[in-house]
Amino acid sequence: QMDVKTAFLNGNIDETIYMVQPENFVSEEPKNTVCKLTKSIYGLKQASRQWYHKFHQVIISFGFEINVVEDCVYHKFSGSRYIFLVLYVDDM
């Protein structure tokens, strides 16, 4: 079992998303300037989907295969060894 505190911050964004500057953000730009996101942040609706997409790409690159019935179960067979990886994300 593993707990990753900053998991959602690792996802890349495939679409153009802008956000208003956070309160108390110090910048010499005008107050109505927005920020263009290049990575996922907590609270973004797309964050969990983007994180899962990146996780899927990485785990597949290690030779795992996705389960045909459940998208959050991966398996890898190597000789007489079996590895099952069950993914559970709790973003509370």
pLDDT of 92 reads 53
Residue 19 token pair? 């956000």
**For residues 13 and 45, is the Cβ–Cβ distance under 8 A?**
no
Cα separation, 40 vs 78, whole angstroms: 34
This prediction has a pTM of: 0.67
Phi/psi of residue 84, nearest 5 degrees = -115, 130
Query: Structural domain boundaries of the chain?
Result: 7-86
pLDDT of 1 reads 63
pLDDT values of the chain reduced to their tens digit, one per residue, 92 residues: 666 667 677 677 888 888 887 777 777 777 677 888 888 777 777 777 888 888 899 999 999 999 989 888 999 998 899 999 998 766 55
Classified as helix, coil or strand, 24 is: coil
Element (H, E) at 49: helix 47-61
pLDDT of 60 reads 95
Phi/psi of residue 15, nearest 5 degrees = -125, 170
